[in-house]
Amino acid sequence: MRENKTIHTSFISFSNEIEDIIHNYDIKGEAYGNQNRNSLRLFQLNEKTVNVKSFKIPNLVNQIAYRFFRKSKAQRSFEYAMKLQELEVGTPQPIAFYEYMTSFLFKKSYYMTNQLDCDLTYRELTLDLEYPNHDEILRAFTRFTYCLHEKGIKFLDHSPGNTLIKKISDDYEFYLVDLNRMEFKSLSFEERIENFKRLTIHKSMVEVMSDEYAKCIEKPYQKVFDLMWSETQKFQRKYRARRSLKKKIKFWKS
């Protein structure tokens, strides 16, 4: 099995320790978070906690694609994190990525970062509309998203669990995670508003985000809200249709 790896220049001196973590991923460390799609484990590196994501082996078509034509999710995550840092956008410190492949097929990959402890994620705002300072945090998040757009960043997985939030004094800091799907380009008004579609099902939250984004971009509130709510509803219809189809497929398989 061929190994391909890149370690951040700031962590080269810990190469042996990083190698040990990756090679013993399945028998060391502590399971962390949701393990349904990909595996996450926490390890100690130089008295600091690091987070390692192990991406599942892709299907056969993608094993070929990642082997010859596309960058792996681990590599993209690492490179996009480096790009975000250049643009002064919060994300956990990237440390390394590892890939394993045969002559013709791509197999496993790993992405390692510093573990970042946060006070909440955006998801908490969707689950508890009475969360303390809900409106204040939501507006700060909207301004953060506007800054992403101004810097030419389209985070394609801009969804509830992928923004970590830390309260710093009277302000909030935001950190993006799950970075393997991003675009860097100038965004149209429509692309900017469409980028909010995955974030919530609650009309009241869309109203607040529309109000704050309209102020940032200097567009009429109604124009922003109408498009944001339309994109949200459209996404939810497609999401429900996909879930319904999956349930039918599972039923017939069983």
Q: What is the pLDDT of residues 1-55, one digit of tens each?
A: 899 999 999 999 999 999 999 999 999 889 887 766 789 999 999 889 999 999 9
Do 71 and 132 share a structural domain?
A: no
Which sign, positive or negative, has the C-alpha torsion 12, 25, 161, 64? Answer: positive
- Of 90, 114, 138, the last residue of a domain is 114
Give pLDDT, residue 82: 97
204: containing domain: 120-242
CA distances from 165 to 42, 83, 84, 226 (A): 20, 20, 16, 27
Confidence band, pLDDT 50/70/90 cuts, at residue 250: low
For the cut 60, the answer to whether the pLDDT of residue 71 exceeds it is yes
Q: What is the pLDDT of residues 102-154, one digit of tens each?
A: 999 999 999 999 999 999 999 999 999 999 999 999 999 999 999 999 999 99
Give pLDDT, residue 251: 53
Mean per-residue pLDDT over the chain, rounded: 93
Give pLDDT, residue 187: 98
CATH number, domain with residue 140: 1.10.510
Q: What is the DSSP letter of 14?
A: G
Residue 43 lies in a domain: yes
- Of 114, 143, 167, the last residue of a domain is 114
Q: What is the pLDDT of residues 218-231, one digit of tens each?
A: 999 999 999 999 99
Tokens matching residue 167: 């309260």
Residue whose C-alpha is closest to residue 159's, from 130, 187, 197: 197
